[in-house]
Chain A
C-alpha cells in the first residue's frame, strides 16, 4: 500500500457519459498529480495541484477537469466520454513545496476506465 488511495479501481461506462475519479494523497503530501496511461500513449501528465491551487497543466482535454479540495483529496472529472478515453488513470502525491525537483512522487494503484 503506497498510501495514495484511488477510487474506483474499475469503471465501465458508455460514450457520452461523465465520471469522477477520486484520489486521497499520502498523509502530509500537499501536491496531487493526475496521469493518463493508454496502450498507445504511455504515461501522460494531465494536471497538478498544490494545496488547492492548480500548479501545472499538461495535455489535459477541455472535457476533463480536476480540483483539489481543502482536505487535499482530488477529483478528476471526465465528461462527454469517448472510446479513446479508455485508459488507466493514476494519481500521485508529493510534498510539493518549491524547490520540488528532489521531491519523490508516490503513485496510487490507478483507476481503470473502460468506455463502451
Chain B
C-alpha cells in the first residue's frame, strides 16, 4: 500500500482555519485519499475522502493537488472539539477495505 507523510503536530487558534498537509508521492491512479480523525478516548471518525477533485462536506474541505501527490485537509474554523489526531490514508479502489493508519497529525486548538 502506498504511504503517506504527515507532520507530527499542528497548533491553531480557535475560530481560525487549519490546513493539514499530507504527502503521498507514490499514490496510484486508483487510490482514494481518505481522512479520519480520532478524538481523545474515542474511535476514529470519518472526515472526508476524494479521488481527483476537491471535495467539501459539513466537516471539512479536501484540496487535492493536480498531480495527486499531495493533499490538504482544511478545517475552516477550528473549534476546541476539533482537537484530535488526523489521519491521511490511501485506499485502493479495488481494496477489500482495510485502512492502514499511520501516526497522523495531532491538532491542538487553543482558545
User: Which residues does A use to contact B, with CB under 8 Å?
Assistant: 2, 4, 31, 33, 35, 42-45, 48, 50, 55-56, 58, 90, 92, 94, 96, 98-110
B43: CB under 8 A from chain A?
yes
**Interface of B: prevailing SS:** loop
Q: Are B98 and A58 in contact, CB atoms less than 8 angstroms apart? A: yes
Q: How far is the CA of A114 from the CA of B44 in the complex (A)?
A: 20
Q: How far is the CA of A96 from the CA of B94 in the complex (A)?
A: 11
Inter-chain contact count A-B, CB under 8 Å?
A: 79
Q: Are B101 and A101 in contact, CB atoms less than 8 angstroms apart? A: no
14 further A-B contacts with Cβ under 8 Å, apart from A58-B98, A100-B94, are A2-B43, A31-B97, A43-B38, A45-B101, A56-B97, A94-B97, A99-B93, A101-B93, A101-B95, A104-B46, A105-B99, A107-B44, A109-B42, A110-B43
Contact residues in A for B68 (Cβ distance below 8 Å): none
Q: How far is the CA of A77 from the CA of B31 in the complex (A)?
A: 32
Min CB distance B6 to A, Å, is 13
Q: Are B96 and A48 in contact, CB atoms less than 8 angstroms apart? A: yes
B100: CB under 8 A from chain A?
yes
Contact residues in B for A50 (Cβ distance below 8 Å): 96-97
B17: CB under 8 A from chain A?
no
Q: Are A55 and B97 in contact, CB atoms less than 8 angstroms apart? A: yes
Contact check: which of B31, B43, B97, B100 meets A100 at CB < 8 Å?
B97
Q: Are A100 and B95 in contact, CB atoms less than 8 angstroms apart? A: yes
